[in-house]
Structure 1
Amino acid sequence: MTYLKRKIDNYLLNWKTDPNKKPLIIKGSRQVGKTESITRFGHLNYKSIIYINFVEEPNYKMITTDGYKAQDIIKNISRIDPSKQFIENDTLIIFDELQDFPDIATSLKFFKIDGRFDVICSGSLLGINYQSIESNSVGYKTDYEMFSLDFEEFLWAKGYDESTIQEMLEHMVQLKSFNEIEMSIYSSLFLDFCILGGMPAVVREYIEKGTFEGSIDIQKQLVADYKEDIRKYAVGMDQTRITNVFNHIPVQLAKDNKKFQITKVASNARFRDYRGCIEWLKDAGIINICYCMQFPELPLKGNYDESKYKIYFADSGLLVSMLDDEAQENLRVNKNLGVYKGALYENVVGEALVKAGYDLYYYKKDNSTLEQDFFVRNKENLIPVEVKATNGTARSLRTLIASNHYPDIQFGIKFISGNIGLSNNIYTFPYFCAFLLKKYLTKIS
């Protein structure tokens, strides 16, 4: 099976060489490639790998019977499987499916103090059990959040190297238009990425076959798996409500007003009844929440209304796989996005921002047509980001930049299906450049 190069690969190498490293917890939604990346890293860099999966091997939940000290846990692992080799300073211990045994996090402090063995924990749906993990290992662990592939990793999978990425970034920095071949190739690849999403199993199938054949089946299975997770892990919560929210996201994203309306999920539904359900889906890594700012000014954190928000899928492939069959067929065969065009591009740009490390915020002025898709910031400025389904004018964006009411806003970014441009302090880029936005803002500052 072909391994898809991931950004976590370099992170893990740097972690290994850090003399002060702490045990590592890798969080992320199911099937984003956590286990594959960790085990490959282990086999390439250690003489011995101790891999324990708490879902497949529940008997290992007994390894803390004698306490949480490293030597006691190692002794109990060896009792269960004497063939496991613990070589000092050359062994990686992997505790997988951590969400099924969060207690093991208590041992991380003792593994750090002991210092003879490297430890990585991973699991999906960690957000749900993470409070107990956090309290059990505070100060003695490092966290890393892993996502499905972003467009850069997708380009790697297609055989493009770092020089291609650098060229794209230079185009942005120098405001130099892409030529016809570049526009055609990158736009086509980006549309494929939008339809497929970034789940490794889906991307691998597409790379190996060169077509979308089989990708829809994998995507639909992932949706079924997420719904099964809701039944399995949403303990003490209204599973029906969580599933209802999950099912309503594509429908509400397709509307012009993309603000998520709880009242559309069920009659007489209220925000306070559904708040926990929405947070559950976010903690599970299934959705991204974009909060409405109270006013477009800095700082971003704390300056939003938690009862007004838009919901996007954390992976665009999930959105595509939940569209009706006719829309799917049109999308895969004819590359026609239909009524979902705006929804899909907005979802993919939001996804790119989150994968780059941004939180999501938007603004909608009451009793006004003024509305802005996203906001990011650099050191000095609040930067509005517009995603245009058609290459028309961005009236709200122009208002925010030109008006004296918004002093934190000096320029804006617009993503379109066209080429690079600059007009009235609005920097325009093709959709396929969205993954580079953070690098671009760092460069120009």
Structure 2
Amino acid sequence: DYIETGSLISIKKNVKNILIPSEERKIEMFPMDFEEFLWATGDNTTNALLRKIYNEKISLGQRQNRDLMRKFRLYMLVGGMPQAVNAYLETNNFKYVDEVKRDIISLYEEDFYKIDPSGKISMLFAAIPSELSRNSSRYQVSSVLKNHRASAISNEIAELVSSKTVLISYHVNDPAIGMTTSLNTEQFRLFMADTGLMVTLMFKDKEFTDNIIYEKLLSDKLSKNLGLFYENTVAQTLTFNGIKLYYNTYYDETQKRIFEVDFLLADGHKVSPIEVRSSKYRVHRSIDEFSKKYSDRINSKYVVHTKDLYKKGDLLYLPFYLVQFIR
């Protein structure tokens, strides 16, 4: 047996038009998930407890939830790239971890220029944090590449997604008739495949000594507009579970406002909406209105938040560290 490693973009370019032998099997791999991160830090027991909590829908209490959320925020900061995790284990110093992640991002950018010397792919990648922070219903291609629409750069988007450095979530126009049937390939949102890298990418223009995001995120003192890190980690975790990413926005004529459901899970003929709340978790009008509109299609409903697990009616409130068990 043998294993090939290297840049996925470079490998694809070098083996283009080469017939792959039937003995070779491709395995899709991702950055380390939360369970693997815990293993790396020497914690081999917590995740078994978390599985039991999820299966039995047990509330842990505020103190234990705070401790677990701190571990999860540490995972969000460091990320799941093995080099970054190793740097943290060896130094316990976020400055060195950030340097490793900057090196990884630089390698990504070099690869993007190999397949697209015009720099469009690199610009689309670099703008992911700012686009998510806008709370827009879609990735605004025209705000990143002037005079370009999503339909005109479908090849660049495809290359970016196939590089496995980003995740794409498609807008579903009508969840009542199925996800793939009504998805809009020109309306989408882009996430980073690793939240730790996104933390670094968002503040890449600053020196680490000027960057207080690590301290703020670890101590749960993020400003509201930085809740995108939480949303990204949900997208990342769902993808690890083999779940394709979809979302939905719709305009309510009566209330004269737009509602958005962050993620939709296809479950046979049913759909399970997920709303991500980094603050004010008891207010979730989007999922409430969505559930009224598609009441005959709803399977499960989730609000993902920073607090303890609890159930209210048919709505399950999950802390971020339990999203890994959604299937």
1:223 CA displacement: 1.1
Residue 96 of structure 2 is aligned to residue 214 of structure 1: yes
1:194 CA displacement: 1.1
Equivalent pair of 2:112/2:119 in contact (CA under 8 Å):
no
Equivalent position SS for 1:154: helix
Q: How does 1:178-327 map to 2 (within 5 A)?
A: 178-232=60-114, 234=115, 237=116, 239-257=118-136, 259-297=138-176, 299-324=178-203, 325=206
Which of 417, 420, 443 matches 2:309?
Answer: 420
When residues 127 and 361 of structure 1 are mapped into structure 2, their CA distance, relative to the original with a 3 A threshold, is: farther
1:258 CA displacement: 5.0
The corresponding residue for 1:347 is 232
The corresponding residue for 2:289 is 399
Which of 386, 410, 413 matches 2:299?
Answer: 410
Q: Which amino acid aligns with 1:337?
A: L
Equivalent pair of 1:421/1:429 in contact (CA under 8 Å):
yes
Q: Aligned partners of 1:143 and 1:406: how far apart in 2?
A: 40
Equivalent pair of 1:290/1:359 in contact (CA under 8 Å):
yes
CA-to-partner distance for each residue in 1:119-143, whole Å, 9 max, x for gaps? xxxx62278549946x723755432
The corresponding residue for 1:362 is 247
1:385 CA displacement: 0.9
Question: 296-305 or 286-295: which moved more?
Answer: 296-305
1:379 CA displacement: 4.2
Equivalent position SS for 1:215: helix
Equivalent position SS for 2:318: strand
Q: How does 1:111-126 map to 2 (within 5 A)?
A: 124-125=8-9
Q: Aligned partners of 1:175 and 1:275: how far apart in 2?
A: 43
5+ residue gaps, structure 2:
none
Computing the radius of gyration over CA atoms, which structure comes out larger, 1 or 2? 1
TM-score of the two chains, using structure 1 as the length reference: 0.66
Q: Which amino acid aligns with 1:172?
A: Y
The corresponding residue for 1:118 is none
Equivalent position SS for 1:279: helix
5+ residue gaps, structure 1:
1-91, 98-122, 439-445
Q: Aligned partners of 2:190 and 2:3: how far apart in 1?
A: 34
Equivalent pair of 1:296/1:406 in contact (CA under 8 Å):
no
Q: Aligned partners of 2:181 and 2:133: how far apart in 1?
A: 28
Equivalent position SS for 2:226: helix
The corresponding residue for 1:156 is 39
1:314 CA displacement: 0.6
CA-atom RMSD in angstroms:
2.4
Residue 20 of structure 2 is aligned to residue 137 of structure 1: yes
The corresponding residue for 1:87 is none
1:243 CA displacement: 1.5
1:373 CA displacement: 0.3
TM-score of the two chains, using structure 2 as the length reference: 0.88
The corresponding residue for 1:387 is 276
Equivalent pair of 2:31/2:81 in contact (CA under 8 Å):
yes
When residues 392 and 344 of structure 1 are mapped into structure 2, their CA distance, relative to the original with a 3 A threshold, is: same
Equivalent position SS for 1:178: coil
CA-to-partner distance for each residue in 1:260-310, whole Å, 9 max, x for gaps? 001101322222332211111111111101000011235323430000000
The corresponding residue for 1:32 is none
Equivalent pair of 2:123/2:144 in contact (CA under 8 Å):
yes
Q: Aligned partners of 1:254 and 1:247: how far apart in 2?
A: 13
Residue 325 of structure 2 is aligned to residue 436 of structure 1: yes
| Highest RCO, 1 vs 2 (Cα 8 Å, sep ≥ 6) | 2
Aligned-pair identity in percent equals 22
The corresponding residue for 1:3 is none
Q: Which amino acid aligns with 1:255?
A: R
